Structure 1
Amino acid sequence: MGVRLQGFVLLAASLALVPVAAQAETGLSLGNMAPPSGQAADLAQAVRQITGVRVEPDGEGLRLVLEADGALGEPTTSVVGNALVAEIPNAVLALPGGDNFEQFSPTEGIALVSLANEPGNRVRVSITGNDGPPAVNVSAGTAGLVLGIAPGLGLASGDDNAIRIGVTGEGDEGYAPRNATSATRTDTPLRDVPRTIQVIPEQVLEDQAITRVGDAVRNVSGVVQDGGFGSTTDQLNIRGFFTSGIFIDGFRGDGSGFAETANVERIEVLRGPASVLFGNTEPGGIINLVTKQPLDEPFYGLELQAGSYGFIRPTIDLTGPITSDRTILYRFNGAYERANGFRAFDQTINRYFAAPSLAFSLGDATTLNLDFTYRNDERPFDRGFLAIGRGIVDTPLSRIFGEPDDVSRVEEYGAGYRLEHEFSDSWEVRNQFRMLSTDSFDYRAEPVRLNEATGILTRNFRSNDDIGEVYSLQTDVLGNFSTGSVEHDLLIGLDLRRQTSGGTQRRLPGGLTPSLDIFNPVYNVVERPPLSALTNEVRNNSDRTNALGLFVQDQIQILDNLIVVAGGRFDVVSQYSRNNRTGTDSGQDVTAFTPTVGVVYQPIEPVSIYANYARSFQPNFGTSVDGNFLPPERGTQYEVGVQAAIRDRLIASLALYSITKTNLATTDPVNPDFSIPIAAQRSGGMDLNVAGEILPGWNVIASYGYIDSAYTEEYFGLPPGSRVQNVPRHTASLWSTYEIQSGNLQGLGFGAGVFYTGDRAGDFEDTFDLPSFVRTDAAVFYRRNNWRAAINVQNLFDVRYFKANNFGRVAIEPGAPLTVVGSLSIDF
């Protein structure tokens, strides 16, 4: 649930009320509509062409979309009779049908929408109501303006509230957002980025009733689940490589528990090496969650989801100004979740989440944002199913192979700030800090070994108890300048990170945990031992990582249709680990230089052709016979691709890539207790993605991914050419919704989708197969005014499928059977 551009719904509830008379005399300047300062000078000079006008139904009002060849300047408004008039400076109409536009009676209460050129490179937009001037909400976009229109209340009543004008920031781009930050650390149009980025916007999360990041990335080619640590955390694979952790607003998480989506505005998936901006990462890519920020107009949203297996999840989203001059803003996102789950555990899911944030305007050029998060999650620790032969044991999906009260708990606190200051229209500095503190615990009957002949499963009571802290500091200097006719967007950055962790794993001595007959299970044969009885301590460690990164990136506009993005990063990573059981220490200092370069060529306005070269690195924990750590693992990618705007709101991309990861540690054939860095993994393939609006009300997001991933050298006994665990050769998805735009059924919508994952190697040694599957989802929803009701059916045909394997043959995560989720949301 989030802010949607719905004209009267949003405006009547939250926007400032301006007396009609005052506006008629002086005109109303939308001060908040000022573009970013770096663009102000350009907008004052450049004359933008408005190349398209769309009038679309939107609730009880209209949506007027002005398509332009760049950002339009700040409009001024005035009232003339029953018409609200907006004049856009430095713009001209350049429509295929002429230099004016008229549409009579587009909806009830609106008599006319017209646009015409005015002297002095101005465009006049006139919206005439039947009974009075309309209510209009103006939103800025990177290539035009969006106006939400609702019939006015009429001047005859003497109501001062006939006109409500406000700014919501970004226009609602539906399924096809145009900008992303993950690839360049700047808000850059996707068409200007020489990388493959897929954005999953808030509307997709809402339409699919998504609450987990792992479910959201089913819409992205080449991204699959890779593990899951007993169905307790997000572990994903991108382009054939395990991706370690999820980033939140560009900051690295610690990988404990499921990331929360209640305060997520969109999810950005950057594919390929990302070390130049994010430090030590795997070469497949990263996932970055972009969170919701305080708004200067009040908005209040409530949503309740309820469904199968005792699932219930209320969420809240509140934002607006605290002070009358709007220099202090707030936002609060909260969620509670409870569920029994489809597995036969006595332990239930209980989850609490809160995310308050504040934004301060410290003068015209300085802003400060403070944010806090709290997450408390308790759920079953569930290793899932077991392999038998080359397949998976055929038992009821609800049957568990641990104990009914196996549990995982995660408690996390987070706090941070973002300080931005503009020195001029061209230069600014950004300083950000983020702290995460996590305490995690689990206690379970761990499956150890299955006797496939008898069906007897050996188990062991085990418990992990860990704490971790991550402190991250980022400082960026951003500048735009020209060298002759060449324009530069320069980014210089410094990153500091300190990450500490420590904890224990304790086990019950062998032979004391009762085994389980998987075909005739009996649970609670003995009372769960107290933690003090787990006397076999196999891990007691304290770890520390200090990292320093310096980088430079330049986005160079050589020609209007030729962009080069080049960057380099130097990292120093110091790692220390103490084995508290033995009293021994180990550590290493790693340095790495990571370059990247990409080129974008735009032969015509809607098409971008790009190529890139990028590298990544990860410290290597293998040691050689001389006791030294091995050199870092290095990833290298070569990629070419094309992005195209099929229509204004329908975007497609195609990429071909080749990634090689080298310096993988493997057993030293001469000294088997040590390692040598000769192993390598390669991954080549294709990503195809389509997202956007086919016709008014008809949205689609689709993908196809091909991954050819294998080890190219012997890797801990695996022969060259061996498959990589959990990596399918093919993935595909298609999700589409249609919402009726007019008539008695206006607001009624339907959605359907299919998600395909090919067969995969089940474990590292490839001793069994994870079978391919097709999952089908469906939805029906009804949107009216400021509320929305929906029913989502997930796994419509009740297909039995398995998402991923944690490790070995005893930890295969099952997918949920047919699940129904109902939701009701209301915005004020």
Structure 2
Amino acid sequence: MSNQLQKLAWMTGLALVLVNFPVLAEDDQKLINNISQLNEIEKPVTNIQQWLAQSLIQVTGVKLQATDKGIDVILETNQSDQLQLTNQSQENSYIVDIPNAQLNLPDGDVFRQEQPMEGITEVTVTNLDASTIRVMVTGETGAPQVELFDGDEGLILAVTSTVTTTQTPQTQPTPVEPEQKPSSETQPEQPSAQGETPIELIVTGEQNRYRVPNTSAGTRTDTLIRDIPQTIQVVPEEVIRDQRVTRLRDALLNVGGVVQDGGFGGTVDQLGIRGFFGGGILVDGFKDGRGGIRETANVERIEVLKGPASVLYGGVEPGGVINLVTKQPLRDPYYNAEFSVGSFSTFRPSIDISGPINPDRTLLYRINSVYETSDGFRDFNQDIQRFFISPTLKWEIGQATNLTFQFDYLNDERPFDRGFLAFGDGILDIPLKRILGEPDDVSKVEEIGFSYRLEHDFNDNWKIRNAFRYLSSDTFDYRAEPVSFNETTGILSRNFRSNDDYGETYTLQTDVVGKFTIGSINHTLLFGIDLARNTSGGTQSRLPGGLTPSIDVFNPVYNAIPRPGLDELTDVVRNSQNRNDSLGIFLQDQIAFAENLKFLVGGRLDIVDQKSINFLNDSESSQYDTAITPRLGIVYQPIEPISLYASYSQSFQPNFGTSVDGSVLEPERGTQYEVGVKSEFFDGRLAATLAAYHITKSNIATTDPANPDFSIPIGKQRNQGIELNVAGQIQRGWNVIASYSYIDAEITESNDGLAGNRPPNVPFNTASLWTTYQLQSGDLRGLGFGLGLFYVGDRLGDTDNTYTIPSYLRTDAAIFYQRDNWRAGINIQNLLNEKYFQGANFGRVAIEPGAPLTVIGSFSVTF
């Protein structure tokens, strides 16, 4: 480099410091004040890289030292008092990022030690980027406890292994001020050794909270997503919070290929994955038979496993499953209160509190509760009233055993709203607020859930889990149901009717997980047994034909007659009870032939006993089925950030159609072939998956041509497509989650004349992008912005393909400010006030509209 270029580089570096100095935060200024004066520099630099290196704190050594509680990870530096740290927990790992520092070891820039102590699988110290050191301590079954000290030798991380550690809450960590007593999780009450003093922990924004590297949904074991030969996408709590969504369907707009199917008048979560609809929602790995809308207040993250999942969860659709992972008790006191107000008189306060009950921290609790009221954007007299509470208690019986009890209660009352009508090959153009039922149409849901989970570690490699869940659901609705629409006159005929239903589910799960090695091949073996009983039933009563007034959709008149009492609905068309008993036995082996070559092999036997009673004619039918569902997969990682995979899997789902002889049809079967690539970017901060799949579903019930009131199992559907999803951190403070999905779906066999048609509510294209950026320094540190784009393509509204639900692009935005222990924000959903439709409930007379421009203000405080 010439002398002129050397001088230019030196002057440019100096200018950067002078320009940025006035806007740096006070904490950052303290660091710069310690930089030597220019006349004290002994040797001039020769390039910008050398100048930057001189401004970084150098860590010249890393060593591990055993203690009576565990190990100390020592980062050797003589400037540890100037370090600023950010901590986070991701699944089993405790991570500390050290900005303005550089790892400079004699033998390289990476330190790694495997199995340094019992319960700790690995300690790594690396340069995350040119000016940030990352320390990662990974536990076998949970994130370890880590205390931070400033010692004579440098920065000390005192590590204590804990088999049953509970993760820190998935919210932005709270800054610890210089004179404030730190929390027990990050600081000890007394120095651990002579010469060691607690170090100041300064947190400057979220650290990669948009990427979740591990999941249990894909294997029922805690596994890296990159090692699973199937597409898995996770929506973490931070995305739910940043977008300020309260409905599961809105959170899943971030997941490609997941769209709404119906919604039963806006009262039920009916979602489809890869073009297949029905069920598929789990809570902590249990199939969830709720009759209403799921609550998100106690949800830590949403995991979406795409493709057949019967090998793990029994009878489910081949498109995949949605697993809601709930928040668990924390070892340290945590108190969060949040208050939201918004458009349409929306009012939603909530609390999330947790901590230990006894001094030994062997009894932990957590309580999540929320109340919501809203007028809604449609012109009903009936408002939304919703209350939810979920207390959880965890008992750490010993170092290797813990028992968790969880209870939840939901009471929900809201309008029953069938929505809009089809008109020609499109949708009727009427004002968004106009309803076509009656103003007092209502839906009521009451749900009670209880579960326990017992976990015991026999040793470091073998453990057993036993879990039980009970769920009861009572649902009721009363509405003026749309029947048929005369497009010439504009008259809609209706019928007053009411459903009164109940459901009870008992599920018992037992899993044994073991890790062992045969020769050089590592195995993770899973063996499990599932037992379940589901009982459901109820009635549908209608007002006799001709007594319900029709309505002019262009000039509606409501309450034309007094609303009939329930005892006047004398036409009972359904009074039945269904009971399903099921037993599932499964075996799975995750085989690592080498560090970069992994196989997944699994199979399941399901035995299902169905019984249905029709009380109207005192008839009874039953069906006894067995099904074997396999799954095979391979993952090859040519280089560490890349995973190439392929898989084959099957599914089954009990069939509720009946043949002319009264027997229940054979189960529906699904088969998928999938290939894909998973990759990591920016030193693992950003993860992406690209996949292609082909799914066929057979034995679908279709009308028996000779007996139209019955069915035969001849229907078949073929869906194929590609998907891309991305999530993580582009750089400090800049997070993103994005997806794209293309689905080519077709009914290939049918006796109803539907062969060649496209299934309803399945768009060819869906795409999403949500990104936030939070300022990391300066006087406005903590100020953040968010932008979201959610696209759903054209969908056909019915199986006859007579009309199209148009595509839409919804634009969302957010601005928020977080400082110390509080956060305030404003979220705008549907910023451009686009008129759009979520999906069709059925046929041409029940199309659910989306909400117009919605503004939500929120404030939360954490202690």
Q: TM-score range by the shorter chain?
A: 0.7 to 0.9
Pick from 615, 637, 645: which aligns with 1:580? 615
**C-alpha separation in 1, matches of 2:547 and 2:458:** 68
Question: How far 1:162 sits from its partner (Å)?
Answer: 5.9
Question: How far 1:254 sits from its partner (Å)?
Answer: 1.1
| Aligned counterpart, 1:51 | 126
Q: Which segments of 5 or more consecutive residues in structure 1 lack a partner in the other structure?
A: 1-7, 9-25, 57-62, 91-108, 111-128, 139-147
| Aligned counterpart, 2:419 | 384
**C-alpha separation in 2, matches of 1:40 and 1:635:** 42
Task: Please list, as runs of the form range in 1=range in 2, the aligned pairs for 1:209-288 lying within 5 A after superposition.
Answer: 209-288=244-323
| Aligned counterpart, 1:597 | 632
Question: How far 1:649 sits from its partner (Å)?
Answer: 1.1
**C-alpha separation in 2, matches of 1:359 and 1:476:** 19
Pick from 66, 73, 92: which aligns with 2:135? 66
| Aligned counterpart, 2:445 | 410
Pick from 75, 86, 89: which aligns with 2:157? 86
Question: How far 1:415 sits from its partner (Å)?
Answer: 0.4
Pick from 770, 774, 788: which aligns with 1:735? 770
Question: How far 1:46 sits from its partner (Å)?
Answer: 7.5
Matched, 1:676 2:712: yes
| Aligned counterpart, 1:564 | 599
**C-alpha separation in 1, matches of 2:503 and 2:497:** 20
**C-alpha separation in 1, matches of 2:199 and 2:135:** 21
| Aligned counterpart, 2:578 | 543
Show CA shifts across 1:465-491 (max 9, x none): 011100000000110111111111100
Matched, 1:423 2:458: yes
**C-alpha separation in 2, matches of 1:452 and 1:462:** 24
Matched, 1:717 2:753: yes
- The change in CA–CA distance for 1:344 and 1:626 in structure 2 (over 3 A counts) is closer
Name the SS of the counterpart of 1:712 in structure 2: strand
- The change in CA–CA distance for 1:670 and 1:512 in structure 2 (over 3 A counts) is closer
| Aligned counterpart, 1:826 | 861
Question: How far 1:77 sits from its partner (Å)?
Answer: 5.6
Show CA shifts across 1:274-304 (max 9, x none): 0000000000001000000001111000111
| Aligned counterpart, 1:4 | none
Show CA shifts across 1:200-238 (max 9, x none): 001100110011110000000111001100000100010
Pick from 730, 742, 754: which aligns with 1:694? 730
Matched, 1:203 2:272: no
Question: How far 1:623 sits from its partner (Å)?
Answer: 3.6
**C-alpha separation in 2, matches of 1:47 and 1:267:** 27
- Residue identity matched to 2:135: L
| Aligned counterpart, 1:145 | none
| Aligned counterpart, 2:548 | 513
Question: How far 1:419 sits from its partner (Å)?
Answer: 0.3
| Aligned counterpart, 1:15 | none
| Aligned counterpart, 2:21 | none
| Aligned counterpart, 1:292 | 327
| Aligned counterpart, 2:361 | 326
| Aligned counterpart, 2:15 | none
- The change in CA–CA distance for 1:380 and 1:161 in structure 2 (over 3 A counts) is farther
Pick from 512, 528, 532: which aligns with 1:493? 528
- Residue identity matched to 2:798: D
- Residue identity matched to 1:807: F
Whether the 8 Å CA contact 1:75–1:87 is kept in 2: the answer is yes
Name the SS of the counterpart of 1:216 in structure 2: helix
Question: How far 1:753 sits from its partner (Å)?
Answer: 1.1
| Aligned counterpart, 2:379 | 344
Q: Which segments of 5 or more consecutive residues in structure 2 lack a partner in the other structure?
A: 1-26, 28-66, 73-88, 94-113, 162-174
Matched, 1:707 2:743: yes
Whether the 8 Å CA contact 2:149–2:197 is kept in 1: the answer is no
Whether the 8 Å CA contact 1:506–1:535 is kept in 2: the answer is yes
**C-alpha separation in 1, matches of 2:329 and 2:451:** 15
| Aligned counterpart, 2:781 | 746
- Residue identity matched to 2:693: Y
Query: What TM-score results when the alignment is normalised by the length of structure 1?
Result: 0.85
**C-alpha separation in 2, matches of 1:692 and 1:224:** 23
Question: How far 1:253 sits from its partner (Å)?
Answer: 1.2
Show CA shifts across 1:125-160 (max 9, x none): xxxx9x89995887xxxxxxxxx79xx9999xxxx9
Pick from 318, 333, 336: which aligns with 1:301? 336
Matched, 1:809 2:809: no
Question: How far 1:86 sits from its partner (Å)?
Answer: 2.8
Question: How far 1:425 sits from its partner (Å)?
Answer: 1.4
Whether the 8 Å CA contact 1:27–1:79 is kept in 2: the answer is no
| Aligned counterpart, 1:94 | none
Question: How far 1:766 sits from its partner (Å)?
Answer: 1.2
**C-alpha separation in 1, matches of 2:349 and 2:381:** 23
Show CA shifts across 1:592-650 (max 9, x none): 00000111111111111111100000122334455443321100000001110112211
**C-alpha separation in 2, matches of 1:230 and 1:88:** 53
Q: Quick one: percent identity of the two aligned structures?
A: 56
Name the SS of the counterpart of 1:362 in structure 2: strand
Name the SS of the counterpart of 1:798 in structure 2: coil
Whether the 8 Å CA contact 2:704–2:751 is kept in 1: the answer is no
- Give the number of equivalent residue pairs: 742
Whether the 8 Å CA contact 1:137–1:165 is kept in 2: the answer is no
- The change in CA–CA distance for 1:264 and 1:183 in structure 2 (over 3 A counts) is same
**C-alpha separation in 2, matches of 1:55 and 1:442:** 61
What is the alpha-carbon root mean square deviation over aligned residues?
3.2
Query: What TM-score results when the alignment is normalised by the length of structure 2?
Result: 0.81
- Residue identity matched to 1:744: D
Name the SS of the counterpart of 2:584 in structure 1: strand
Matched, 1:437 2:506: no
| Aligned counterpart, 1:483 | 518
- Residue identity matched to 1:431: N
Pick from 645, 649, 667: which aligns with 2:685? 649
Name the SS of the counterpart of 2:398 in structure 1: coil
| Aligned counterpart, 1:662 | 698
**C-alpha separation in 2, matches of 1:251 and 1:568:** 19
Question: How far 1:434 sits from its partner (Å)?
Answer: 0.2
Whether the 8 Å CA contact 1:83–1:134 is kept in 2: the answer is no
**C-alpha separation in 2, matches of 1:175 and 1:679:** 41
Show CA shifts across 1:171-201 (max 9, x none): 9641111011111011111111111000000
- Residue identity matched to 1:691: A
**C-alpha separation in 2, matches of 1:662 and 1:177:** 35
- The change in CA–CA distance for 1:701 and 1:313 in structure 2 (over 3 A counts) is same
Task: Please list, as runs of the form range in 1=range in 2, the aligned pairs for 1:18-167 lying within 5 A after superposition.
Answer: 48-53=123-128, 65-66=134-135, 78-80=149-151, 85-86=156-157
Of 239-248 and 214-223, deviating more is 239-248
Whether the 8 Å CA contact 1:312–1:338 is kept in 2: the answer is yes
Of 242-251 and 662-671, deviating more is 662-671
Whether the 8 Å CA contact 2:120–2:138 is kept in 1: the answer is no
**C-alpha separation in 2, matches of 1:84 and 1:694:** 28
**C-alpha separation in 2, matches of 1:496 and 1:678:** 30
**C-alpha separation in 1, matches of 2:526 and 2:201:** 36
**C-alpha separation in 1, matches of 2:485 and 2:704:** 31
- Residue identity matched to 1:706: Y
Task: Please list, as runs of the form range in 1=range in 2, the aligned pairs for 1:619-630 lying within 5 A after superposition.
Answer: 619-630=654-665
Matched, 1:448 2:492: no
- The change in CA–CA distance for 1:734 and 1:78 in structure 2 (over 3 A counts) is closer
Question: How far 1:767 sits from its partner (Å)?
Answer: 1.2
**C-alpha separation in 1, matches of 2:848 and 2:452:** 37
**C-alpha separation in 2, matches of 1:132 and 1:459:** 69
- Residue identity matched to 2:743: I
| Aligned counterpart, 2:370 | 335
